[in-house]
Structure 1
Amino acid sequence: GYLSVRALASDDNMYLLIYRSDDSGQTWTFHNAVQDGRDFDFYSLDEGWMAAGTNLFKTTDGGATWFLSVMTGLPAGEFLLKLDFVDDQHGWVLATPDDETWDPLKLYQTDDGGANWTHLLP
Structure 2
Amino acid sequence: MSTRNESKRLFSLDARLMVAALALTMSTTVTSGESAEPRHVRLVVTDTGQYILSGKPVALANLRVQLRELKSSGRPIDLHVTGSSKVEYKYVLPAMQIAQEEGLAKAAVVMSPPSAPGSSASPSSK
Which structure's CA Rg is the greater one?
2
- Quick check: which one's helix share is greater? 2
Question: Is the structural similarity TM-score above 0.5?
Answer: no
State the structure with bigger RCO (CA 8 A, min sep 6), 1 or 2. Answer: 2
- Quick check: which one's strand share is greater? 1
Which bin holds the TM-score, normalised by the shorter protein?
under 0.3
Q: TM-score, normalised by structure 1?
A: 0.22
